[in-house]
Amino acid sequence: MTDTPLLDADVRPPADLDLVVLGGGGHVGLPLSLAFARAGLRVGIFDTMLTPERAFGGRRILVAGGAGPVGGVLTPRPVEAGARVTVLDDLFTGRAETIPTGAQPVQVSVTDQAPVRGLVGEHPFVFYMAACNIVASTQSPHDDFETNIGGTLNVLRGIEAAAKWFVDDGFARVGSRG
């Protein structure tokens, strides 16, 4: 991995990369980066140690699930850093009052293909925090699958079509080149 570039937020990833791993130098991200590289992918590592202002100031960011328990904590940070943030949330679990002033709320489900793909296409960065909560998941496994699997796939297909950065709420943040 000595030839794996460390990318700066102000620099567009080289077109010859297959994958950009956000947080790819961490205890989870580094093994993930190495695994992708061993599989033959050309991997770049995004420098996540940048200040929020430098990383996100002035950028358009979509936060799917941005009014929920995880997204609601994340969303104020890029807004405070000067990003133009759109919060995509159906408010099933999320609360409208969680969305900070300065963020644009869009009340739609991640399962709604056309609006989701349109929003993904308009935002260079996508944070994915949307999920069905445990109560809804146990009461309706079908709805859980539709939201947690189908919704995630819907967002990922939009990202794939638009070749955008993607940040999930797992330990390793994996993104498509863009």
pLDDT of residue 45: 64
Q: In the predicted model, is pLDDT for residue 138 greater than 60?
A: yes
Q: What is the pLDDT of residues 11-68, one digit of tens each?
A: 555 666 676 666 555 555 666 666 667 777 777 666 555 566 766 778 889 999 999 9
Token digits of residue 69: 């328990």
Gap between the terminal Cα atoms of the chain: 21
Query: In terms of DSSP H, where are the helices of 9-90?
Result: 29-38, 52-56, 71-74, 76-80
Contact assessment for residue 107 and residue 91, using Cβ atoms and an 8 Å cutoff: yes
What are the structural domains, with CATH classification, of the chain? 6-46 (no CATH), 52-169 (3.40.50.720)
